[in-house]
A and B are shown apart, each in its own frame.
Chain A
Amino acid sequence: MTVDAPFEITLCAAPATAPAAGATKVHGAISATQERILSPVGVYVQHYLRRLESNDADDQSDHLKVHADHTAAEAAKAISNLDLNEEEDEEESEDLLMTDPKEWKQQDHYAVLGLSKLRYRATLDDVIKSHRKKVLRHHPDKKAAQGHLNDDGFFKCIQKAFEILSDFTKRRQWDSVDPAILDDIPSGKKKADFYEVFGPVFAREARFSSVQPVPELGDESTAREEVERFYEFWYSFDSWRSFEYLDKEDATGGGNRDDKRYNDAKNRKERATRKKEDIQRLRTLVDNALKVDPRIARFKEEDKLKRNAKRNAQEEEAKRLAEEKKAAEEAAKKAVENASMMEEEHKKARQQAHKQLKKEQRALKLAFKSLNFFAPAGATPSDADIAVATEKLDKITAAKNDADALVAIRTELEAAHAAGNGSATLDDIVSKL
């Protein structure tokens, strides 16, 4: 909210000492503050206190902002009144001029004073001014001067209208039943032009509020809190509307006491019924508006989404957990499988190695045999030689449980045998074990 200065501010041209464009230069801080006692009266103290707590530059409840809003609203109202009043002097129709002052209850007091456009918006000042104007035009003395003697019917109407409109209580009673302002309320069916239909109706009903200013319906972009405040306000609407104006007068005028009492009781009952109906009517209006307000629908949708989002999130979380669990289980299973497979392979490998070893042992044994048990060349190995060689072979096979080593030993022995020093090599190998 911007407060327009009372007069237009035009900045001065930058002096030579000014900082460069886009630069700021700070010269000094604000002088020390003074302590003052704030008188806690009026409407705006609450806003200020709330603001004091938050100390936030963008706080919308700032008392200065609220105050400026109220002021601007009132100024706008005053200007619109001025605009309406600009069309000076409403025309006085023939019918209006012929109004019977005896039928004052039926006359339109605003029309009589030429305020039929402003109606309830007319200020006391407007009433006084227009009354003065009308009196000048319709005073019986003036009529008499024009030759219309005893033509004071409309003047009486003017006086009656002024009597009612200048009296706070009487005017409210009249405003309550002003026939020129409809009491209809839009139905609770969905409408595309919700704001155009309901806005003016709420603005119209706001005139009965004891608490002013009344929150407005707003539009699509109105913040959620505002909308909620609006409905809260209208559900606890404090109306000054009353129906005394429609009271039936005692037909006989004077009447006796019993008649008067009977009439009073009847009128009171009537008033209470009307008031009740009016409260019901307003209630229906707010109900209808709430029902078809696109914002409320949107908020509900948002709420639903939010709720759903929460639920969805929960579900997803559960799903995710389940999946994780499943994956973990599978992994465990796989690991177990892997392990068994490894075991198998291992076993196989070991068996293979064992087989190989056995084969090599056999091959070595055969080699021993083919190498004549390392007996001297050409000689048939004796039993003793065989026993010694076999013993050595056993030693080797006992020491070496590796197929490759056995192969190496075998080739070495075969090579040595061919070179003629097999026995020595064998001894050498055995001694090395």
Chain B
Amino acid sequence: MSTAAKTYIGLSLGNHNSVIAIINKDHRAEVIANEDGEHKTPTYIAFSGEEEYHGSQAKHQIVRNAQNTVAGFRDILGKAYSASMAEQHAGFAAIEASADGSAVFVIRAASESGEGAELRLTAHDATVRYLARLRTTAEDYLGRKIDGAVLAVPVWFTEAQRTSIGAACADAGLPLLQLVTEPAAAALQYGLGRGENAADSVALVVDVGGTGSDVSLVAATGGLVSVVSSAHTTAVSGEVIDDVLVRHFAAEFTRANGVDVMGNPRAVRKLRQAVEGTKRTLSSATTAPCAVESLAEGIDFNSSVNRTRFDILCARTYAPLLETIEKVVADAGYQLSQVDQVLLCGGAARVRRLQARVASLFPETTAVRDDAAEELDEVIAAGCAEQAALIAQGVADPAVAVADLKVDVLAHAVGLQIDADGLALVLRKDTPLPASRSVRVALPKGETRAYIAVSEGEPVPPKPESENDDEEAEEEEEVEEEEAGPTYRPTRLLAEMVLELDAADENTRVEVSFFVGTDRKLTVTAVEPVSGKTMTAVIPQ
């Protein structure tokens, strides 16, 4: 294979942290550790004197050199300057409008050679510098040149932002193979529509990142993944949770020492950095320490928090996420009970309580999964690496895949009527056209005529619980439901036909195949394989 020699990486460029992954020799996603041995590299650049720092080193400078630290440049890339932008980045390198209206970071690094030397860095420049550094990291790790990368961006990225990222990649010497959306990368990594999850399904990707959360409903039919609806909220994020902990510890410190912390920006920044570690520890341990040397006025701070306490403190912060989830599912025209699995990603999704709250929204049959990668914040990068590997193998063609594909999908499910208000699903809602499927059906007892009624349908809404007073009846029903899966009911009859057979018994099967062309013409063909009797109904557009 000529492409086998190419080295393609998957890259998740976050606003907070970035992860590089590659599919290794063993066909497993492997995260590339940076020079400091970390799996994720903070998306920060800092300038001090003549030096330029990236990643953790830059992040540590927030405490004493915040005005020369550039952060959050991914979300600024490709956007025009606005006042709110500057406000959001208060505390970091100042943002000004440049001549062409884009945002520029102004770094007044205290250079040794000359006072007041000023560096104006556009978001593009910052991204290029950062990406180039990531590329070097990956090349050093692998010992080979990188031939290309698959990059993930949020769903809500505009065309301008996507173009800008592409341009930045090109300038950083990192040829962009394909831009994928983050939920698509996550779905790929979770194996949606493949292997054990091959069946058509609806999944909800919940990505709780550093600065915001994305919730996307993803439909997988026949291994094709499409994002049906999506929403972004900044109300729930790693930072928001950090804020809660910062306030908690600040109050504790003030109580103990009578020294104000919240009014001291430097102390807040110190505490914030310490709190991140505390939060992470709480995902695995039940108690986590938080220690800051010389937090304020030379007084050391040393405390700890247990998980219960943490959960109580943060309880309120999860509500917006749950609301967003409900909104996204409703927007897509689905019900919560129809979501087959919830795919978690993003570092902050590790919070146990948050996972439990999300799971509580859905019925027990919905799996809440966090098993795609070793760490949740590596899922997207691993998904990108997977796609990069597919491109390297020649299974996926980046040329057609660079642009997102606009396709027509079915607005309603189409199925076969199995009784007056029951529908057997054949083609799901959101199936891209053209589509064909066939099912094998049995005849009702004692009949020699197959009555084939094709209908559009919708899922039966869940019954209100109050109706089931009798516990036994409820149990019985539950069992039934589990056997039958989500049931559909017909809403609009499309066509009927009757196939007369000479003879039929309980082993007789009729194969009914559906084909919907891009012109919305539905062709239903019924075949009885033994006698070869055939019938076709064409439902024109």
A171 closest partner in B (C-beta): B26
Residue of A38, A67, A172 touching B404 (CB-CB under 8 A): A38
A39 closest partner in B (C-beta): B184
Q: Known: A11-B441, A24-B535, A211-B393. Is A38-B224 also a contact (CB below 8 A)?
A: yes
A74 to B419, CA, bound (A): 33
Give chain A nearest CB distance to B438 CB in angstroms: 5
Interface contact B195-A29, CB-CB below 8 Å: no
A25 to B451, CA, bound (A): 11
Interface contact A168-B414, CB-CB below 8 Å: no
A238 to B393, CA, bound (A): 10
A255 within 8 A of B: no
Encoded as 1 (CB less than 8 Å from any B CB) or 0, chain A from 19 to 45 comes to: 111111111111111111111111111
Interface contact B178-A18, CB-CB below 8 Å: no
Question: Which B residues are CB-close (under 8 A) to A65?
Answer: 436
Residue of A4, A22, A24, A62 touching B500 (CB-CB under 8 A): A22
Interface contact A6-B447, CB-CB below 8 Å: no
Question: Which A residues are CB-close (under 8 A) to B25?
Answer: 240
Question: Which B residues are CB-close (under 8 A) to A42?
Answer: 188, 193-194, 223-225, 387, 390, 396
Encoded as 1 (CB less than 8 Å from any B CB) or 0, chain A from 31 to 63 comes to: 111111111111111101101100101000011
Residue of B180, B438, B497 touching A40 (CB-CB under 8 A): B180
B511 within 8 A of A: yes
Q: Known: A9-B442, A46-B396, A62-B436. Is A30-B494 also a contact (CB below 8 A)?
A: yes
A62 to B222, CA, bound (A): 10
Residues of A54-98 contacting chain B, CB below 8 A: 55, 57, 62-68, 70-71, 74
A3 within 8 A of B: yes
- Among B26, B402, B407, B483, the one with the most A-chain Cβ atoms within 10 Å of its Cβ is B407
Question: Which A residues are CB-close (under 8 A) to B520?
Answer: 29-30, 32-33
Interface contact B451-A18, CB-CB below 8 Å: yes
A169 to B26, CA, bound (A): 7
Interface contact A19-B498, CB-CB below 8 Å: yes
Interface contact A9-B439, CB-CB below 8 Å: yes
A379 within 8 A of B: no
- Among B188, B432, B541, the one with the most A-chain Cβ atoms within 10 Å of its Cβ is B432
A124 to B100, CA, bound (A): 58
A62 to B223, CA, bound (A): 11
Interface contact B224-A23, CB-CB below 8 Å: no
Interface contact B4-A238, CB-CB below 8 Å: yes
Residue of B4, B224, B424 touching A9 (CB-CB under 8 A): B424
| Number of residues on chain B facing chain A (CB within 8 A) | 105
B390 closest partner in A (C-beta): A43
Interface contact B412-A67, CB-CB below 8 Å: no
Residues of B57-106 contacting chain A, CB below 8 A: none
B411 within 8 A of A: yes
Question: Which B residues are CB-close (under 8 A) to A168?
Answer: 26, 28
A238 closest partner in B (C-beta): B1
Interface contact B418-A9, CB-CB below 8 Å: yes
Question: Which B residues are CB-close (under 8 A) to A36?
Answer: 226-228, 406-409, 430, 432
Interface contact A29-B401, CB-CB below 8 Å: no
Q: Known: A10-B418, A11-B452, A39-B226. Is A2-B401 also a contact (CB below 8 A)?
A: no
B405 within 8 A of A: yes
Interface contact B419-A12, CB-CB below 8 Å: yes
A43 to B442, CA, bound (A): 33
A22 to B533, CA, bound (A): 10
Interface contact A35-B537, CB-CB below 8 Å: no
Q: Known: A29-B541, A41-B187. Is A52-B518 also a contact (CB below 8 A)?
A: yes
Give chain B nearest CB distance to A119 CB in angstroms: 19
- Among A4, A38, A238, the one with the most B-chain Cβ atoms within 10 Å of its Cβ is A38
Give chain B nearest CB distance to A215 CB in angstroms: 14
B395 within 8 A of A: yes
Interface contact A5-B518, CB-CB below 8 Å: no
A408 within 8 A of B: no
Interface contact A43-B405, CB-CB below 8 Å: no
Give chain B nearest CB distance to A175 CB in angstroms: 12
Residue of B1, B447, B513 touching A13 (CB-CB under 8 A): B447
Interface contact B187-A39, CB-CB below 8 Å: yes
A14 within 8 A of B: yes
A349 to B495, CA, bound (A): 89
Question: Which A residues are CB-close (under 8 A) to B143?
Answer: none
A8 within 8 A of B: yes
Q: Known: A2-B438, A13-B451, A63-B222. Is A24-B537 also a contact (CB below 8 A)?
A: yes
Interface contact A18-B498, CB-CB below 8 Å: yes
Interface contact B434-A52, CB-CB below 8 Å: yes
B499 within 8 A of A: yes
Q: Known: A11-B416, A14-B449, A39-B227. Is A31-B535 also a contact (CB below 8 A)?
A: no
B198 within 8 A of A: yes
A48 to B396, CA, bound (A): 12
Give chain A nearest CB distance to B511 CB in angstroms: 6
Interface contact A2-B223, CB-CB below 8 Å: no
Question: Which B residues are CB-close (under 8 A) to A169?
Answer: 26
A10 to B443, CA, bound (A): 6
Interface contact B198-A70, CB-CB below 8 Å: yes
Interface contact B404-A40, CB-CB below 8 Å: yes
Residue of B408, B419, B492 touching A34 (CB-CB under 8 A): B408
Encoded as 1 (CB less than 8 Å from any A CB) or 0, chain B from 144 to 160 comes to: 00000000000000000
Residue of B187, B224, B228, B441 touching A63 (CB-CB under 8 A): B224
B181 within 8 A of A: yes
B439 closest partner in A (C-beta): A5
Question: Which A residues are CB-close (under 8 A) to B437?
Answer: 3, 64
Interface contact A21-B405, CB-CB below 8 Å: no
Interface contact B1-A19, CB-CB below 8 Å: no
Interface contact B541-A64, CB-CB below 8 Å: no
Give chain B nearest CB distance to A291 CB in angstroms: 24
A41 to B447, CA, bound (A): 46
B440 within 8 A of A: yes
A210 within 8 A of B: yes
Q: Known: A11-B452, A46-B396, A52-B518. Is A29-B540 also a contact (CB below 8 A)?
A: yes
Encoded as 1 (CB less than 8 Å from any B CB) or 0, chain A from 224 to 258 comes to: 00000000000010101000000000000000000
A41 to B177, CA, bound (A): 12
A73 to B13, CA, bound (A): 37
Interface contact A38-B226, CB-CB below 8 Å: yes
Interface contact A57-B432, CB-CB below 8 Å: no
Interface contact A25-B224, CB-CB below 8 Å: no
Question: Which B residues are CB-close (under 8 A) to A45?
Answer: 224, 396, 400-401, 405
Interface contact B517-A64, CB-CB below 8 Å: no
B25 closest partner in A (C-beta): A240
Interface contact B522-A24, CB-CB below 8 Å: no
Question: Which B residues are CB-close (under 8 A) to A14?
Answer: 447, 449, 451, 498
Interface contact A44-B440, CB-CB below 8 Å: no
A3 to B432, CA, bound (A): 17
Question: Which B residues are CB-close (under 8 A) to A33?
Answer: 408-411, 433, 520
A39 to B510, CA, bound (A): 35
Question: Which A residues are CB-close (under 8 A) to B12?
Answer: none
Residue pairs across A and B with Cβ atoms less than 8 A apart, 18 shown, are A5-B439, A9-B441, A10-B442, A11-B416, A27-B496, A30-B516, A33-B409, A38-B225, A38-B432, A41-B185, A41-B387, A43-B194, A43-B390, A45-B224, A45-B396, A57-B434, A238-B1, A240-B25
What are the 8 tightest A-B residue pairs by CB atom distance, in nearest-first order? A39-B184, A40-B401, A44-B223, A14-B451, A21-B500, A71-B198, A24-B497, A33-B408
Known contacts A21-B449, A26-B494, A26-B495, then 13 further A-B pairs from the complex at CB < 8 Å, ordered by chain A residue: A2-B439, A9-B442, A18-B498, A21-B498, A24-B535, A28-B493, A29-B494, A30-B410, A36-B406, A39-B226, A39-B404, A55-B518, A66-B223
